[in-house]
Structures are given as structure tokens and as C-alpha cells.
Structure 1
């Protein structure tokens, strides 16, 4: 028998999360728990407000998807024999949560300290007072930081941080917050500062992104613009100077689809960053097995939360690792689970 529970949790941010699209004090993500004869797995569907999909939308999608399944179809996904595909899921985040929960049942162990050599970046919380951002960076124990751009005064803020922390690595994420003309000016300024890379500078056409990438020595990598295979193909043709892509299992539709996208990008000579949205330990643990295949990782989701509702991810020398006991829900989540309606699939 398989028992399935679907629920959402509001997770407060440790600091207001300010990006080009707005400022957020919390995120409400959707979770799925799958219990297969006592073996339990969790999946997470992060809800991004500016994507236009609500937590209720995703819960209904997951419920509809699960109700169309049989024990046999879920067993195929659990054993990796379906390629992770499931046309009954409407949203990629729904399929990602389902696939991740099944994968965590089928593979209880994660990568070891010896297998993961990459250190994650940590997103610096935006603050009107740059001294607070610098202090946050110094107190974090990290040396590689993602700084959000597309916000007034962004380049000056990045310059100030780099001046105070000259040995730090700065990655800039504009979240499509610049116009093409702004990007040309700001990228030139960032070259003088010495940043490692720039994510998604504009929401422009491939030809505009190609112009930006061709005229700078800073690697330009794409996140929002590349969510699937066909979008990647478009940029390979029309923006050959793009240096790489950002993959997230939630936007691609789960670990299986993300693995295929990594291989395609690699074969095309692109670099790959494995990243996450604002997610708990559940979402990051599902992405971790893909980390050794990538050039950079940005898996700081649990660090952005005031109180992660799950435990299991630790940060050892700036590397995210899954503890031996795996993902464990908090007491608050355990109580919530006891009150949630169960979907049962009988053998």
C-alpha cells in the first residue's frame, strides 16, 4: 500500500527577500509525503509569486495527478523506469515534488563529503544599509556570495561589498531586472569590480543576450530563460556566447529532466550551475545528487529561512550535505501530518 499526504507550509524568511520582482517576507511551498510500506519520502514544490501559480493550484494539481496513478505507475517512477515523465502533472513543480519524493524512498543515501567538492554560494539579504550586508557576509562563515541586482544602487552596493571583502567571490543575479541599455552599462562597471558571473541580466531576446555575452569577459549564464530542452536549443543557436545555464529541479520538472538538461548543456560546451528556489531541506536534498555533475552550486535555500520545517541538511565547510538520518519533519509538521487526509493506493 502507498499512503500520500499533500500539504502546504508558510515559511518565514530570515530576512526580507528582495529581488527585482519584489520583496517577500515568507514563502508558502507545497509538500508531498509518500509512505510505501513504512519507507517515507518527501518532495517539495516551491511557489514563486511572480510565476502566477499559487499553492492551491499546485496542491490541486498534485492531488489530481496522484488520483490518476496506480501502484504500478508509481513503482515505475520509484524504480526509475519511467524516465520521471508523468503527463498528468500540469506544472513542472508538481512533477518535481512527486518525482523527488519517490526518489528519496528509492535512494535513502545521498552523496558523501568526499563526493561533493563544490562549495555553495550564499545569498546576501538586501539591506538599504550596506554596512548591514557586509556584516552579514562577515558573520556568515561563507566566502562566496550571490548578490541580487536589478535594484536601484545595485552596482554601487556590489562595489562596496567587494571593497570590504576583497577575497570574497561575488556572483550577481539580476533576475531579468535590467533593460538592455542598462545591462550594457552595468556589466562594464562590474568588469572593473571583478565579479565571477552574472545570471539572467535581462528579459530580452536571445539576440540581445548574445550581444551582452559577446562583449564582456564576465560569464553570462541563464536561469529564467532556460527551463526546458527546447529553450536551451534556441539559445545554443541564437546566443552561442552564453557561458552556461542554471538548472533547478523545480523549474525543470524533477531530477530526471534536470539530469537530461545537464547532459545536453555539457555536451554543448556550456557550464552548469545547480541552484534552488526558496526551499527547505527537502528541496535541497532532492537536488544534491546532481551536484557533482555541475560547475557551481547555489543551494542555500534552508539558510534563507527563519525556521526550516525539516531537518537533514547541514553545511560543512560551505558544502550542503544530507545527514545520515535523512530528512526529518519538525514536531510542528508531524502534528500537521496527523490531521491531513490520506490518499491510499492499494496493492
Structure 2
């Protein structure tokens, strides 16, 4: 078995990523590779410190063996564990995973046009960032999409940008049948979240609102209908077993979400989603269109709202030449 090698990646966005947390122009990270018994495996560490990963310099020290503070380097640890996962996985066929189309920022008119394109491309689900503009703008936008494109299910993500009163006002104006959930609507305790979800009658999804430790320690059914996992923010794959069991026991579905990964990272997430989630639930992996460039020479294919993903053992051969030469040659 060869030593694990790595090379840095810096992927610019076609347009700045605008959220309630601020504006991001680039996503940095690393590609990791290893060779074993003639198989070359590649994985990706996607770094967005604004959304809970470690900084580039800390990940680099971990990968160089200069630091042992792995508890504070979840993305690097996840990428390392993905190499193990891929080596152990007996996958010899493509998989198809339904994905939600993340709508871009911009004017309401631009977002509506993007939603129309998603419907024409046979997506069933779109995701919309809210709590960036005024509450009234968000309400008008969601209602317009729901009225014009009733075939689409809409996921909303507030990134904890609202108050509980804003959540109430927003929920009162929502077309309930068109909205799948509101992700991270506001900052409250888990018990208060449970009460608020019951009060407003709109499902909540938890992404960043509560830690894994808080969820596992909660006495009762957690106050959300879906758990959104960003593995790059959580660390080793094998250490998620307790959380996944708790969600199965509570019959709360799990959705995997991208940290603006390239095709390499998305492929690993898609294979994990095929094991951790339900096959009919759209995963949060519809983000490739935001990147100016990719790590593969030919990006993963999207067909009728599904990400078509090859076996993980085939990813290395598809890398762009500059990444191949920087890794295993």
C-alpha cells in the first residue's frame, strides 16, 4: 500500500455564494489519494470555515502529519476515512441518486428563471436560500414559485437567520403543500424548536442548529422532521453509527449535503447517501453548477434530476491531468 498523498485544490464559484452568513467567492480544500493492490483511490477534503469546517492551514498540518488535533479537523478526517471506505467498498456499477437543485442567489426574477430551468430539467425538488433579503421578498418569491411551478417541491434554508417571530410570520404566508421543510429557521434550544415546529405546522430540518451530541442527549423525539448531514463538518464515517441509529429509531430521514464539493467529493457523498438515506429522498448534492472548474476531466452527469455516479474505484482515472501528476503520477 502506498502512502497517502495530497494536493491542494482551489475552486472558484461562477458567482459569489450569498447566504445569511455572508458572501463566499472560492472553496479551498485538498484531494487525497492512495494506491493499494493496483487500485488508485481519490477522495476530497472540502473546506468552508464559514460553514463549520477547519481552516485550510489546519487541514494541511493534519495531512502533513504536523498536528494531531484531529478533533478540530473534521473535513480532513472525513476525506481520510473516505479512502478507507472506498477501498473496502465492493462497488462495480454506477448509481443514480436523486438530488435537489440549489437555486442561485440574485434577484427574485433570476431565481424564478432558475426554478423554471430546474423544472424543465426534470428536477422534483429545489432548494432556496432565504433570510438573506427581506421577509416580504422571501414570502413573495416562495409563493410565486409555488404558484407557477406546482410540480416542484421547495426546500428553504434560513441558515439560522430568522427570529422565532419571523418564522411564525413566514409560515403563516407559506403555501404549505409546496414546502417540504424549512432548514435551520432560527436559533433556539432543541426543546423550544420542538414547540415552535408544532406551533407553526411547517416541518423543520436540522443542519447546523444542533450538534450531534445535543441530538443524542435529547430526551424525547427531536423537534425536526429531517436531519441534514454535512459529513465534511462531522469527521470519520464510522463514528456516525450512533446518530444514524437514533434517526432510524425515531423514523427521521437523513439527507446528505455538499460543502460545495467537486465531482470527487460528490461521488463519495452519493455512495454514502445510497446507504444512509432513502432512495426516494432528494439529496443536497446539486451544487456542481456553481463551480467554474471541476477536479474530474468530465464532471459527474446529471440526468432527469439524478446524479449518475461511477464506482469510487473509477474516480482516479477521471481526474484532470494536473491533479493526477500531483498525486500518484
Say yes or no: TM over 0.5.
yes
Alignment partner, residue 333 of structure 1: 323
* Deviation per residue, 1:19-75 (Å, 9 max, x gap): 11012222112221222353222222221232373111111122227x98xxxxxxx
Q: Distance in 1 between matches of 2:327 and 2:60?
A: 15
Structure 2: gaps spanning 5 or more residues: none
Matches within 5 A, 1:70-149: 88=70, 90-107=72-89, 109=91, 112-113=94-95, 116=96, 119-128=98-107, 130-140=108-118, 141=121, 142-149=123-130
Q: Would the aligned equivalents of 1:126 and 1:148 in 2 still touch at CA under 8 Å?
A: yes
- Which of 298, 303, 312 aligns to 2:289? It is 303
Q: Distance in 2 between matches of 1:169 and 1:22?
A: 26
CA 1:272 to 1:88, structure 2 compared with 1: closer, same or farther past 3 Å?
closer
Q: Distance in 1 between matches of 2:224 and 2:54?
A: 29
Structure 1: gaps spanning 5 or more residues: 69-86, 340-347
Q: Distance in 2 between matches of 1:219 and 1:110?
A: 37
In the TM superposition, residue 279 of structure 1 has moved relative to its aligned partner by: 0.6
CA 1:263 to 1:174, structure 2 compared with 1: closer, same or farther past 3 Å?
same
* Deviation per residue, 1:304-345 (Å, 9 max, x gap): 312212246322321222225721211232344479xxxxxx
- Which of 233, 237, 244 aligns to 1:255? It is 237
* Deviation per residue, 1:271-290 (Å, 9 max, x gap): 22222221111212212233
Q: Distance in 2 between matches of 1:289 and 1:279?
A: 14
CA 1:110 to 1:145, structure 2 compared with 1: closer, same or farther past 3 Å?
farther
Matches within 5 A, 1:158-177: 158-177=142-161
Matched, 1:36 2:36: yes
- Which of 126, 131, 134 aligns to 1:150? It is 131
Alignment partner, residue 191 of structure 2: 207
Q: Distance in 2 between matches of 1:279 and 1:55?
A: 15
SS of residue matched to 1:120: strand
Q: With the length of structure 2 as denominator, give the TM-score of the two structures.
A: 0.85
- Which of 206, 217, 231 aligns to 2:214? It is 231
The runs of at least 4 consecutive aligned structure 1 residues that moved more than 6 Å come to: none
Q: Would the aligned equivalents of 2:103 and 2:115 in 1 still touch at CA under 8 Å?
A: yes
In the TM superposition, residue 120 of structure 1 has moved relative to its aligned partner by: 0.9
Q: How many residues align?
A: 314
- Which of 242, 252, 263 aligns to 1:281? It is 263
Q: Distance in 2 between matches of 1:239 and 1:184?
A: 22
In the TM superposition, residue 260 of structure 1 has moved relative to its aligned partner by: 4.2
Q: Distance in 2 between matches of 1:103 and 1:168?
A: 34
SS of residue matched to 1:190: coil
Q: Would the aligned equivalents of 2:168 and 2:200 in 1 still touch at CA under 8 Å?
A: no
Q: Distance in 2 between matches of 1:63 and 1:218?
A: 46
Q: Would the aligned equivalents of 2:4 and 2:33 in 1 still touch at CA under 8 Å?
A: yes
Q: Distance in 2 between matches of 1:272 and 1:31?
A: 26
